[in-house]
Every structure is written in structure tokens, then in C-alpha cells.
């Protein structure tokens, strides 16, 4: 039953939109290509399909509208009455009826034209038939424009109605306008109804929910009712009346004692008497609101109302036949007392203390915040004062944590002194046993000499290896005798080896050999005396030509040196010299990755 699913009604499109929608759907969802040379049954089938498709769409949509909108006979009389009040039952039924008629008409049109299509003998004829059919269907719908608009408005309003459950526990607030019904509901529930000083602020019903005795209660706020006969009431008041009439609720008739609403107490009483017949069979509470003199708290009013309603409901339930089923299931089990010991419920001590503390105004202890306020700028949060130490005077100590790369916390041990003693004893024993005595190198002179000789040998070897590496092995290899051995080097080498080379003048290698004897004496040649020589001798040298005096010469020399400075500094021969002597200097690219930055590799 679509009772309270007023929000689930499909959107009712306007007539124009509806037509456009359906026609475009037909165009998209049916095949579009047809040629006149096709077989006639194929052409007929093609156009029949289009007509049927359009008809199907209209039919579906309209049926959906008809089923979605609630039938006033099927829903709860409260809602039926409310809808009648708001939308006029006749108009509503008429609109839906029109839609129904339209649907039937469309079906008939489609049926007729499909039948006619059987006699279409050419593409052109079939096409015209289809066109006519679709046109007629669309015209039918165009005539329903007003109904569709009205239904759309109804749908929108319906979806915004408050969901009042007519079957559950309800409290109904009624009374004159501006007596304080909306304020009451705002206070008691989480509803946020507009409260304003002018009358008829509340124009429709509002629902709020509250909890009492572990049950959910609906509180319904109504627009105010004025005192005139039923026929003259307007829509807004009729809503209130409807609610009163149909909802089985506890009625709270709110009266404004202070007469701030603009009506005297007697007028309010008059109204009360007038609508009294509506209160039949419902628990009634008269609520005196806005009372600043008397202390009737509204809470007790509400309690009473709820209790009364509950009792009322229980009574009615008892009267129905369901009572026996319920009674069978209800049974309160109480454990039997096995002895006379009193077993009262347990309340922990802390809870009792706290309860006592709440009641008495005991002076609170000084908070950190108070201290902060007192000290102002000098305040520092010192959590060390809350520490629980064995000697409280140590609370402000600065505790050392690190010493020379070791964490002190790693050494903390209550028995550390004992262990240290053991260690020291052990160390003493070891020292006594001679473990720590440095062994003297009892080496004799001989050993020292041997060591020295060994080091010399090693050095000599290395030098020999280096000099051998410097040899040019790729070039031409000359026999040893090609190079002349100098006497001095030979004598030096042998002296290094320890031999005595002091007077070896007449040794075989020192004597001048016959080659020297046989050399003839060369005569000293005379210098050439030609003219060119003498001329070149008389010309001034280049760096002195054009220079007037010594001062200028000096300046010229400095100029020359300055111009050469840059090139010399860069070590370049000239401007075009771009030679780099060391592209990857070893000191920047070699070596181990020690502690430091490694960003320059």
C-alpha cells in the first residue's frame, strides 16, 4: 500500500515534455532505415512497430502515474481528509480520471491504425498512416496539459507533507493562534518550527519526536484555530480540524493565560466548547501556557498526558481480543529469597563520593589554569612537580641522559655498585696475573740490525721496480754497450754497495782509451766577416726601437707583461687553446665514502 510513500511518486512531466520524450524515444529505439524497394510486409511491419512502440510508451507512463498517486479510498482517512482539504478531492479524482481516459484513447488509436496499416500498399501510404497515428496520440496528450500540471503540483506538495503515523502514540497540540504550541514543540522535541509574534505563523501540520519511558512519541503541532463554524473555516484551519478528527491522540488544548495571543480567556473557553465533540474518546489535557504567576511546570503536564494516553491505550487493548495473547507472553520473574539476607544493589564508593561532591559546594583544588593566570608571563608548564619519587626534594633535578655517546638509562641498575665491585676485583686479579704488562721487545742488536737492513732492502727494491717501470719497452731496444756508462755513476753505485772507490784513477775504466788518443785536434775557426753581419750589428734591437727614453721603455715593458698576464695565468697558449689538462682530477673522484657529503660525485 502506498500509504506513506508519498515521496516515491514519479515526476509527472508537462504535456510538451511528455510528447517530446516519447517521440524521441521512438526515433531512437526503433529502426530508422527503410527503402521503398523493400518487400511490402517488411515496410508495413516497420511502421506498425513504430506505432505500437509509441502507444506502449504512453500507456506505460500514464499507468505509472495512475498507480503512483494514492487512491483516496485506500489510504488512511486522516490522509484522505487532509488531501481533500489541501487539494480538493473532486479535482484530484477528475484529473486522474482524465489521465485514464487519455490512456484508453491512445490505446484505441493505436489499435485502429495498426489495423489500417495492413491495407497499406506502398511505403508512402504506410508512412502517412504512421504519421497520422502518432499525431493523434500526441494531440490527445496535448489536451491533458492542465491535468498533468495539476498532478505535478499535487505530487510536489504531497512529497513535502510531514510523515505522521496515524497508528502510533501521538500528542496533538491545538488552540488559538499564537498561544505557544510551536514553542512547546520546539522545546520538547528536536523539531525546529518557526515561532513568530504574528498569528498563523504555523500554516500546516508539523511533527516532532520525543522519547518518554523508552518509547517514541509523536508530537503534532497544528495551525491555530479560530472560533467560527465549520463551513467558514479556511484550508489552514481545516488541517488542524482534520488532525483532531482522525488522529487517535492525546489532545493538549493550549490556553494562553496571559492573553498575549490577543484573545481573552473566555473566548478561548468558547472555542474549547465548540470543538469539544472532536475530543470524544481521546485523553484531554488543558494546558495553561505563558503563566508567570503560577508555577505549573509544563513537564508535569506532559507526563500526565503521556501516562493518561498510555493507560487509555492499555485499556483499549485489554478490551480487544488480542489481550489474551499478550497476557500469555507477559510474566515478570522474581528470584525467590533463599534467606533473610538483604542484598541491596551495589553502588561503587567513587560514585557515591562524586554524588556527594556534586551536592556540596566544596572548594576546588588549585588548577594549572589558575596558576597560569596568576603568574602571567612567567608561567612555565612544569610537569616534574607531579612526579612520584622516593625523595620528593629531587623533583626539580635535571636528569642527565647521555654521556660520551652512551645512554645513561642503559646503565641504570639497582645492583650496579655490586657488579662494579666484582668487575674491579676481577680486573685486579687480571692485572696481578700479568695480563696487562706491556711486553718489552727484548730484541738484541742483531735483530735490530737485521730489521734495518731489511727495510733498506725493501726500499731499494721498490726504487728498482719503479725505474724499471719507467723504461720504454715499446720503443727500439738498444744493446747495453750502446750507452756509455759514466765513470761518476759507476763509482757512486759501487760506493753505495760498500766498496771502496777512492783512488781508482788508473783502473781500467778510468783510463782514456785509444779512441781519445786518436782524435785529431780541431783548429779554432775564424769568425766570418761579412757585411750583413756588421749591418745587423749596428741596428737597434727590436724592443728598443721607437722607444724614446728609459721611462718609456719601462712602461712599454709593463704593458707587454700585462697583456700576457691573463693567458699565462690560465696556462693557455692563446685564445684558441681550449685544452684541459685534467678532465677528471683524481682527488675529486677517488677515495672512500667517509662520513660527509657525497653530493659531488
Partner 1 sequence: MRIEKCYFCSAPVYPGHGMMFVRNDCKVFRFCRSKCHKNFKKKRNPRKTRWTKAFRKSAGKELTLDNSLEFEKRRNIPVKYNRELWSKTMEAMKKVEAIKNKRQARFIMNRLKSGKELEKAAAISEVKKNIHLIRAPHAGQAKQLEDKMVQKLAEDVEMDE
The answer to whether residue 16 forms part of the interface with partner 1 (CB under 8 A) is no
Q: Could you say which DSSP state residue 489 is in? A: H
Stretch that binds partner 1, among 91-99, 301-309, 448-456, 550-558 (CB under 8 A): 448-456
Residue 368 Cβ vs partner 1, minimum distance, rounded to whole Å: 22
The rounded distance, in Å, linking the Cα atoms of 386 and 392 is 10
- For partner 1, the closer CB: 326 or 429: 429
Site map (CB under 8 A) of partner 1, residues 461-490, x = contact: x--x--------------------------
Contact with partner 1 (CB under 8 A) among 325, 388, 506, 575: 388
Q: Which three cell numbers stand for residue 264?
A: 481573552
How many other C-beta atoms are found inside a 10 Å radius of the C-beta of residue 19? 18
Q: 40-68 vs 123-143: helix axis angle to the nearest 10? A: 10
Name which position in 20, 424, 543, 577 contacts partner 1 (CB under 8 A).
Answer: 424
Residue 553 and residue 559: Cα distance in Å, rounded?
Answer: 10
Residue from 108, 95, 92 nearest 58 by CA: 108
Using only C-alpha atoms, the chain has a radius of gyration, in whole angstroms, of 61
Q: Which of 314, 323, 499, 567 binds partner 1 (CB under 8 A)?
A: 499
Q: Which of 88, 103, 189, 177 is nearest to 140 (CA)?
A: 103
303 binds partner 1 (CB under 8 A): no
| 557: number of Cβ within 10 Å | 12
Is 361 a binder of partner 1 (CB under 8 A)? Answer: no
17 binds partner 1 (CB under 8 A): no
Taking the complex as a whole, how short is the minimal distance between the CB of residue 469 and partner 1, in angstroms? 17
Cα–Cα distance for residue pair 93/72, rounded to 1 Å: 9
Comparison of 406 and 579: residue with beta carbon closer to partner 1: 406
11 binds partner 1 per the rule CB under 8 A: no
User: Nearest 5°: phi and psi at 33?
Assistant: -95, 125
* Distance separating the N- and C-terminal Cα atoms of the chain: 82
Distance of alpha carbon 296 from alpha carbon 282, whole angstroms: 23
Q: Judged by CB under 8 A, does residue 510 bind partner 1?
A: no
- Site for partner 1 (CB under 8 A): which residue of 21, 40, 215, 420? 420
Where does residue 216 fall: left (phi above 0), alpha (psi -120 to 50 degrees), or beta otherwise? Answer: beta
Q: Does 460 bind partner 1 (CB under 8 A)?
A: yes
- Residue 422 within binding range of partner 1, rule CB under 8 A: yes
Nearer to partner 1, 417 or 583 (CB): 417
Q: Pick out residues in 247-266 that bind partner 1 (CB under 8 A).
A: none
Of 3, 94, 408, 553, the one binding partner 1 by CB under 8 A: 408
Grid coordinates belonging to 327 = 497476557
Nearer to partner 1 among residue 351 and residue 494 (C-beta): 494
SS3 at position 242: helix
Which residues lie near partner 1 (CB under 8 A)? Answer: 387-391, 394, 397, 399-414, 416-417, 419-420, 422-424, 426-427, 435-436, 447, 450-451, 453-454, 456-458, 460-461, 464, 494, 496-500, 593, 595, 598
Amino acid at each position: 500500500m502506498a500509504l506513506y510513500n508519498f515521496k516515491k511518486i514519479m515526476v509527472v512531466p508537462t504535456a510538451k515534455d511528455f510528447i517530446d520524450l516519447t517521440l524521441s524515444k521512438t526515433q531512437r529505439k526503433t529502426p530508422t532505415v527503410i527503402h521503398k524497394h523493400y518487400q511490402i510486409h517488411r515496410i508495413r511491419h516497420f511502421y506498425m512497430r513504430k506505432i505500437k512502440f509509441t502507444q506502449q510508451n504512453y500507456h506505460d507512463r500514464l499507468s505509472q502515474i495512475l498507480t503512483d498517486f494514492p487512491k483516496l479510498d485506500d489510504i488512511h482517512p486522516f490522509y484522505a481528509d487532509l488531501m481533500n482539504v489541501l487539494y480538493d478531492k473532486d479535482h484530484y479524482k477528475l484529473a486522474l480520471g482524465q489521465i485514464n481516459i487519455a490512456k484508453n484513447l491512445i490505446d484505441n488509436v493505436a489499435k485502429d491504425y495498426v489495423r489500417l496499416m495492413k491495407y497499406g500498399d506502398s511505403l508512402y501510404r504506410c508512412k502517412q498512416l504512421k504519421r497520422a497515428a502518432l499525431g493523434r496520440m500526441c494531440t490527445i496528450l496535448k489536451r491533458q496539459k492542465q491535468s498533468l500540471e495539476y498532478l505535478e503540483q499535487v505530487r510536489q506538495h504531497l512529497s513535502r507533507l510531514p510523515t505522521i503515523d496515524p497508528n502510533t502514540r501521538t500528542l496533538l497540540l491545538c488552540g488559538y493562534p499564537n498561544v505557544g504550541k510551536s514553542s512547546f514543540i520546539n522545546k520538547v522535541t528536536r523539531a525546529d518550527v518557526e515561532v513568530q509574534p504574528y498569528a498563523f505563523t504555523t500554516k500546516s501540520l508539523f511533527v516532532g519526536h520525543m522519547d518518554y519511558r523508552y518509547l517514541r512519541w509523536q508530537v503534532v503541532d497544528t495551525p491555530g484555530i479560530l472560533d467560527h463554524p465549520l463551513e467558514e473555516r479556511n484550508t489552514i484551519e481545516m488541517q488542524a480540524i482534520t488532525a483532531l478528527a482522525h488522529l487517535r491522540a492525546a489532545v493538549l488544548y493550549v490556553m494562553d493565560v496571559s492573553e498575549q495571543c490577543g484573545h481573552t480567556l473566555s473566548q478561548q473557553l468558547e472555542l474549547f466548547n465548540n470543538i469539544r465533540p472532536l475530543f470524544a474518546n481521546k485523553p484531554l489535557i488543558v494546558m495553561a501556557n505563558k503563566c508567570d504567576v503560577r508555577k505549573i511546570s509544563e513537564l508535569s503536564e506532559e507526563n500526565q498526558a503521556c501516562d493518561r494516553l498510555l493507560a487509555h491505550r492499555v485499556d483499549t487493548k485489554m478490551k480487544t481480543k488480542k489481550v489474551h495473547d499478550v497476557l500469555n507472553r507477559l510474566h515478570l520473574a522474581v528470584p525467590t529469597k533463599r534467606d533473610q539476607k538483604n542484598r541491596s544493589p551495589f553502588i561503587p564508593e567513587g560514585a557515591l563520593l562524586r554524588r556527594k561532591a556534586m551536592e556540596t559546594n566544596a572548594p576546588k583544588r588549585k588548577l594549572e589554569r589558575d596558576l597560569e593566570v596568576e603568574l602571567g608571563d612567567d608561567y612555565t608548564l612544569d610537569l616534574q612537580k607531579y612526579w612520584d619519587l622516593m625523595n620528593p626534594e629531587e623533583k626539580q633535578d635535571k636528569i642527565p641522559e647521555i654521556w660520551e655517546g652512551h645512554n645513561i638509562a642503559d646503565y641504570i641498575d639497582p645492583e650496579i655498585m655490586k657488579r662494579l665491585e666484582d668487575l674491579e676485583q676481577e680486573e685486579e686479579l687480571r692485572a696481578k696475573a700479568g695480563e696487562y704488562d706491556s711486553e718489552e721487545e727484548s730484541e738484541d742488536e742483531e735483530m735490530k740490525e737485521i730489521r734495518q737492513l731489511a727495510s733498506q732492502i725493501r726500499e731499494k727494491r721498490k726504487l728498482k721496480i719503479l725505474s724499471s717501470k719507467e723504461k720504454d719497452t715499446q720503443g727500439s731496444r738498444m744493446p747495453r754497450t750502446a750507452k756509455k756508462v759514466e765513470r761518476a755513476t759507476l763509482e757512486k753505485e759501487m760506493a753505495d754497495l760498500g766498496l771502496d772507490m777512492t783512488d781508482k784513477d788508473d783502473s781500467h775504466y778510468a783510463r782514456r782509451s785509444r779512441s781519445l788518443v786518436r782524435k785529431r785536434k780541431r783548429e779554432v775557426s775564424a769568425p766570418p766577416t761579412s757585411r750583413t753581419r756588421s749591418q745587423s750589428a749596428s741596428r737597434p734591437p727590436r724592443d728598443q726601437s721607437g722607444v724614446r727614453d728609459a721611462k718609456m721603455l719601462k712602461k712599454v715593458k709593463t704593458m707587454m707583461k700585462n697583456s700576457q698576464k691573463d693567458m699565462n695565468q690560465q696556462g693557455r697558449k692563446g685564445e684558441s687553446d681550449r685544452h684541459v689538462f685534467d678532465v677528471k682530477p683524481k682527488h675529486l673522484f677517488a677515495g672512500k665514502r667517509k662520513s660527509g657529503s657525497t653530493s659531488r660525485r
